[in-house]
Structure 1
């Protein structure tokens, strides 16, 4: 008999080990068994042979699914009208026996990513002894499964990557039997902010970012890649990231003593403060497509190199011509310059601001000791930047967070997102040491707190020839590779003509099928030829690099872009998708034309 008062169904330890092995292989950690699992959890068999889960609390015994048919119950639950028919990411709290998730996957797998949070690691470990979860665990294309608090940073990173790459509709659901906890609430709120930020970037800055990127392509023969700098970095070289928070003026002069003992990385907005104090940094960082050159033009930067994204403002690129070190790439650039150029160059999360990008660059350069200064992420006497200027004032709701001295200080939800980035990266990279020497601002969990003078005396003690690291870096591409890229650009311009032609045909097909849905049946065999042509054209359109540039950068309203998987199972469903397609494909030729003009003008074709 179990602690629940009925015959025990024994744990299958071989099955549990099989699940644990799969989980460890996929996620890098092994689930932990709760020593009291027999007193907390129990399994019975439903009338249809499926498992029924019971959880014992202090107050009661909770049955987590149906005694008669868990699968049928899950089917009814999953078929509720939770979601649109669009490309989706569903945040799910609670795995239970997996029956609810399995049904959602069956219904929505084609165009959906499932990010699952199981709050009770012991429950998951218990169920691994009864249920074969291996297919779910190993299906990383569609499912991310968090069962341990150790995975919280990876969970958030997965969510951010998913939103940035797929631009999905975001939904959250709570599996029957579970109650929302603070982690799931906060992650759902975070998802909203990240999604709104992505939409805002596309609307305001993405087209300018691509224009800057195209400009950078034409000048790669004069500049370099970060990977060629990274291999020169000494193992014991620390880095100081100089951000532009209002506390910077408190300790900026200590950098004079640190010069030559650490890599001094100055973000664009902090240049003026260093110039006031006569401090020449080792390198400037910049990523913003809209931030102008006025932030970096100074007597102290005339010979200093720049580490930057290819999307950084073209005027900044011009100022640092021949001194720029680029660190990122997008998939079309692999066709443009050759995939081998980007070997070992992976996409990286930049935290949404230049300080976060500087931190990510340090990780890419395998720097193991990172010191933060001017990283307030909070107001100081109403000021938000060390230069005292009002431009770039943070938007968003004001909130209170713990400061480095334990008091509550005022910040914004946007700054909280930046703070979360640092905390998540620190947790993900146990091999690094991060010292917060800001001497003010918000507490960044996971950092060591030191004054910059202490850092100078105790950490930055070895001497380095920093200037030599940047000397004679290899050029990013050769003249021959540039000529080849110009040929690819010509090919893309021709492919944009094909996209224009396909878009016009797609508009006609969608309009015709839309009328069918209004007055007839979309599933009539008479429509099969048009449906196949629709599918072919959409597939052809989505599988070329100019379309990637259009969707990721050139089209301002990302919500207007139709999903990869067009759902046409019923008339009502098809009407929604076809109407969206008609609006989009009508406008697409104009987007193609303007992108063609940009490519021709920049490449002088």
Structure 2
């Protein structure tokens, strides 16, 4: 079907991502249509020039007479800003030459390319230059209508707080004029990821010590219970594949249709987020599962005695005070960077972290997908404030309303096409849902919220319609929880406890390294000999690797999160034209500030480990 170069292009497009399948790309290839809007003209130098016909006008996407020279000039605008940590987001692949020139300026930087026109991509598909770009390991291509869903995952994979200020946005000639709507879409995805990075930073700084304290308090519980990874494809394994799932969130619209859920609760799997628990229980609905990931979630939400018998998904940073109110199975998600995950890894047990946009409902949706549900129905997923209300009435026992005159509130369209108030953090949650839904087109998402912001990619239906058209049989849902072994057996638990006993020793090892690095930063500050600078920086790099490998270092970093983020935002900035001595001096001072923060964090942790 494909010749050798086409196979190379196909494999390069797939890369290491698993979100868009090979079958989908092959299907797009087989069903591609030539709209006669894209042509390749040969100039006198035998260079193929991409031309787009739009509204009876021909748009040249590169120079007709000097295509390669123009590509070089375009790329040179970034020559002075390229660093090892620069991530490019480029609109357009063109003939590939501009991207090729950009690659030549550095051996490390990543280039994410969004091609808004599939027809242009197919014109270049099978050409040697495209194969080489995709095989470089540094060019990650997304194409509208083929795999655009991986744009956000690519941005999230390569951009974080350490390098987001170093990002560069590039537009190939005429792309933003010919594909204006697609340009705005690309920028929306970019801004979403940037806002998410800032929001995550602010959350971690605000609740850093609370997060660490919850981690330590919940560690023993996580050791003795289950992992969310054990729920992978559970509905298929238990022969419940046809069962729909209902994700119940705590938006104010839930009060409109919650009673309709009671009549079908034997026919659907119900996952209610923590804030929605009181509402569903007060309407005689027992959810099959709940989820709570926030370290500061109020304990009042868990005081209904019925909650004790509901299985729950938890984060290691969930509020430790809710444990006495839960007696059923507890399934933990863990970040691979945290202490417990590293200890599990040491005995061959890998953890799972649910993708999230910052809301517990995001995690819940990701969990339902992981469990294998092919139909997911949203209720109470307002992501806005209809009638200016914040939550379902029984979440906290009364309605809370917003002051819409405050500047932070903005308007979006609701499911009925009318305007409704929301705020930036909810827009981020909304964007996450839309991105998540686009990545999994085989799953049917139905929005039966009956209010709130419209979520692109969902079918907007009423609960009455769901009851009539989706629900068709009763299920024995209790079998979901049967025969699930503990995540760690007794011997594995014993090994983890033994490693935890090493924490005081590990914190002293970290302390010794941090103290040594402080001395090196002082020595580096006034060093002028290039060979000595290289020697000292290599020592810092080697010791940082040793720190990263130490299981308790993540806790140290969280205790010093403010200093850590401050350093992340400045240490990678390097001006090629600046004076090396001045920059080394500045680097030393910033490094010292960071490691002094680590030392203070160690002193605090010594008393609790």
Whether the TM-score (by the shorter chain) exceeds 0.5 is yes
> In the alignment, what sits opposite 2:452?
441
Moved more, 391-400 or 181-190: 391-400
> 1:257-278 CA distances to partner (integer Å, 9 max, x unpaired)?
1122212211111122224323
Does the CA contact (< 8 Å) of 1:164 and 1:198 recur in 2? no
> In the alignment, what sits opposite 2:343?
336
> In the alignment, what sits opposite 1:201?
203
> In the alignment, what sits opposite 1:586?
596
> In the alignment, what sits opposite 1:42?
41
> In the alignment, what sits opposite 1:77?
77
User: Does the alignment pair 1:369 with 2:375?
Assistant: yes
SS at match of 2:596: helix
Moved more, 446-455 or 558-567: 558-567
1:453 aligned residue (456, 464, 468): 464
Q: Structure 1 272/90 Cα, relative in aligned 2: closer, same or farther at 3 Å?
A: same
Moved more, 462-471 or 52-61: 52-61
User: Does the alignment pair 1:352 with 2:352?
Assistant: no
SS at match of 1:258: coil
Separation in structure 2 between the aligned mates of residue 304 and residue 347 of structure 1, nearest angstrom: 21
> 1:342-401 CA distances to partner (integer Å, 9 max, x unpaired)?
45x544312321111111111111111211111112212110211345499999843333
RMSD in angstroms over aligned alpha carbons? 3.5
Does the CA contact (< 8 Å) of 2:262 and 2:283 recur in 1? no
Separation in structure 1 between the aligned mates of residue 254 and residue 296 of structure 2, nearest angstrom: 24
User: Does the alignment pair 1:174 with 2:170?
Assistant: yes
Q: Structure 1 117/218 Cα, relative in aligned 2: closer, same or farther at 3 Å?
A: same
Q: Structure 1 188/448 Cα, relative in aligned 2: closer, same or farther at 3 Å?
A: closer
In structure 2, runs of 5+ residues without a counterpart are 177-182
> In the alignment, what sits opposite 1:96?
94
Q: TM-score if structure 2 supplies the norm length?
A: 0.83
**Deviation of the 1:86 alpha carbon:** 8.2
SS at match of 1:307: strand
**Deviation of the 1:215 alpha carbon:** 1.9
User: Does the alignment pair 1:319 with 2:309?
Assistant: no
Moved more, 120-129 or 401-410: 120-129
1:123 aligned residue (120, 132, 150): 120
Structure 2 matches for 1:156-175, cutoff 5 A? Answer: 156-163=152-159, 168-169=164-165, 171-175=167-171
> 1:519-547 CA distances to partner (integer Å, 9 max, x unpaired)?
x4x52x35443343233223323333333
Does the CA contact (< 8 Å) of 2:61 and 2:172 recur in 1? no
Q: Structure 1 72/40 Cα, relative in aligned 2: closer, same or farther at 3 Å?
A: closer
1:407 aligned residue (400, 418, 421): 418
> In the alignment, what sits opposite 1:603?
none
> In the alignment, what sits opposite 1:4?
none
User: Does the alignment pair 1:184 with 2:180?
Assistant: no
User: Does the alignment pair 1:493 with 2:504?
Assistant: yes
**Deviation of the 1:463 alpha carbon:** 1.7
Separation in structure 2 between the aligned mates of residue 283 and residue 427 of structure 1, nearest angstrom: 25
> In the alignment, what sits opposite 2:131?
134
Separation in structure 2 between the aligned mates of residue 534 and residue 216 of structure 1, nearest angstrom: 34
> 1:92-141 CA distances to partner (integer Å, 9 max, x unpaired)?
2233344443454454554x44322122333333344554233431345x
Does the CA contact (< 8 Å) of 1:70 and 1:99 recur in 2? no
Does the CA contact (< 8 Å) of 2:295 and 2:318 recur in 1? yes
> In the alignment, what sits opposite 2:149?
153
> In the alignment, what sits opposite 1:63?
62
2:581 aligned residue (571, 581, 584): 571
In structure 1, runs of 5+ residues without a counterpart are 1-11, 601-605
Q: TM-score if structure 1 supplies the norm length?
A: 0.83
Structure 2 matches for 1:211-290, cutoff 5 A? Answer: 211-220=213-222, 222-230=224-232, 231=234, 233=238, 234-290=240-296
Does the CA contact (< 8 Å) of 1:93 and 1:116 recur in 2? yes
Separation in structure 1 between the aligned mates of residue 258 and residue 37 of structure 2, nearest angstrom: 59
Q: Structure 1 509/101 Cα, relative in aligned 2: closer, same or farther at 3 Å?
A: farther
Q: Structure 1 392/261 Cα, relative in aligned 2: closer, same or farther at 3 Å?
A: farther
Separation in structure 2 between the aligned mates of residue 203 and residue 400 of structure 1, nearest angstrom: 29
**Deviation of the 1:425 alpha carbon:** 2.1
**Deviation of the 1:226 alpha carbon:** 3.0
Does the CA contact (< 8 Å) of 1:242 and 1:266 recur in 2? yes
> In the alignment, what sits opposite 1:463?
474
> 1:315-353 CA distances to partner (integer Å, 9 max, x unpaired)?
12332155322244424434413467645x544312321
> 1:137-171 CA distances to partner (integer Å, 9 max, x unpaired)?
1345x442112333232211332344469774352
> In the alignment, what sits opposite 1:23?
13
Q: Structure 1 15/282 Cα, relative in aligned 2: closer, same or farther at 3 Å?
A: closer
Q: Structure 1 293/474 Cα, relative in aligned 2: closer, same or farther at 3 Å?
A: farther
Number of residue pairs matched by the alignment: 575
Separation in structure 1 between the aligned mates of residue 402 and residue 304 of structure 2, nearest angstrom: 20
> In the alignment, what sits opposite 2:179?
none
Does the CA contact (< 8 Å) of 2:381 and 2:452 recur in 1? yes
Separation in structure 1 between the aligned mates of residue 607 and residue 276 of structure 2, nearest angstrom: 36
**Deviation of the 1:566 alpha carbon:** 9.2
Does the CA contact (< 8 Å) of 1:16 and 1:129 recur in 2? yes
